[in-house]
Amino acid sequence: MDFNGQTVTGKVTDSNDEYVYVQYQGITMAVARDEFTDVPTLGSDVTGFAYENEHRDPRMTTKPLAISESEYAFCPVVQVRRDLGVFVDVGLPDKDVVVSLDDLPLENRLWPARGDKLMVRLELDKKHRMWGKLASPDFFPQLAHIAHDDMKNKDVTATVYRLKLAGTLVFTDDHYLGFIHPSERDAEPRLGQVLHARVIGIRQDGGLNLSLRPRAYEAIDDDAAMLLAVLQHSHDGRLALTDKSDPAVIRQHLDISKGAFKRALGHLLKVRRVRETDGYVELLPHDDTATKE
């Protein structure tokens, strides 16, 4: 079908309960009946996007697609084929579009997975086949806002758009460019992976330095979390224990050893969640607990 992947205007030739049939250049395409409020009359014009579905049957849709040959959008990955590439949903009812393996990372472990998102546009090859073409890295700065200092320590959701040896490039849901250094992650994210990160710095170019690691107080171990919970649920935010308390008293109050208590207390002191004063461990007010980067 020479006009596969193009918007065309054809004539209505027939209809039934499921489809309206539209003819263009001698080819009859089926359009889902539920796309129309009223069935078009025979001979009337219908304009829509012409394509071949997954069974290579001629189809048309009057609904707008997420992408075109000149318009990009983040499209969800719905299938992965190691021999072909990944399929993305562009809004067609019975056809997904392939992003070629030639555009994907050499290492399969870094390929997008189902549910990831890729910024793509529509591309037609010489055989009139439709492909999803990845946006180049230069595309994203055109959409980006300039970050400001008040974003420091904010949480952001971002999508990976480029993988580099120096780190991972992402684009946030709020349209900021982000960079994740390898030291700020436990494993390299996939292309298209949606990440939850925090801002650890503002770059001179207006982008964000991000981390996938938890804040220090979020990374506390079970004993420190338990001690913190006890303090938070006490009536005055205090506990009559210190690192010099008798081991039996600590065991009676918290059911942990003195060594475990001292480690938990040390961790909470380090991240400024508590302080020791007058024979007590005391919970710090919330405004004093922000960890300094």
Residue 235 confidence class, pLDDT cut points 50, 70, 90: confident
What span, in angstroms and rounded, lies between the C-alpha atoms of 51 and 29? Answer: 9
What span, in angstroms and rounded, lies between the C-alpha atoms of 67 and 85? Answer: 18
Whether 12 and 41 have beta carbons less than 8 Å apart is answered as yes
Residue 122 token pair: 């529509």
pLDDT digits (tens, 9 = 90+) for 45-87: 999 999 999 999 999 999 999 999 999 999 999 999 999 999 9
Span(s) in the chain for CATH 2.40.50.140:
73-135, 147-211
Fold type of domain 147-211 = OB fold (Dihydrolipoamide Acetyltransferase, E2P) (2.40.50)
Residue 133 token pair: 């073409």
Residue 112 confidence class, pLDDT cut points 50, 70, 90: very high
For the chain, the average pLDDT equals 91
Residue 292 confidence class, pLDDT cut points 50, 70, 90: very low
Architecture of domain 217-288: Orthogonal Bundle (1.10)
- 6-61 CATH pick, 1.10.3720.10, 2.40.50.330, 3.90.1150.10, 3.90.1570.30: 2.40.50.330
> What percent of the chain lies above the pLDDT cut of 90?
73
Per-residue model confidence (pLDDT) at position 151: 93
Fold type of domain 73-135 = OB fold (Dihydrolipoamide Acetyltransferase, E2P) (2.40.50)
Q: Is the pLDDT of residue 283 over 50?
A: yes
Average pLDDT over residues 178-197: 95
Average pLDDT over residues 188-193: 97
Average pLDDT over residues 166-178: 97
Per-residue model confidence (pLDDT) at position 229: 85
Cα 89 versus chain centre, distance: 15
Per-residue model confidence (pLDDT) at position 236: 87
Per-residue model confidence (pLDDT) at position 171: 98
pLDDT digits (tens, 9 = 90+) for 120-152: 999 999 999 999 999 999 999 999 999 999 999
Per-residue model confidence (pLDDT) at position 288: 40
Stated pTM of the model: 0.73
Q: Is the pLDDT of residue 293 over 80?
A: no
Question: What are the CB-based long-range contacts (under 8 Å, 24+) for 97-105?
Answer: 97/122, 97/130, 97/131, 97/132, 98/131, 98/132, 99/131, 99/132, 99/133, 99/134, 100/131, 103/133, 103/134, 104/191, 105/163, 105/191
Per-residue model confidence (pLDDT) at position 291: 39
Span(s) in the chain for CATH 2.40.50.330:
6-61
Q: Is the pLDDT of residue 218 over 70?
A: no
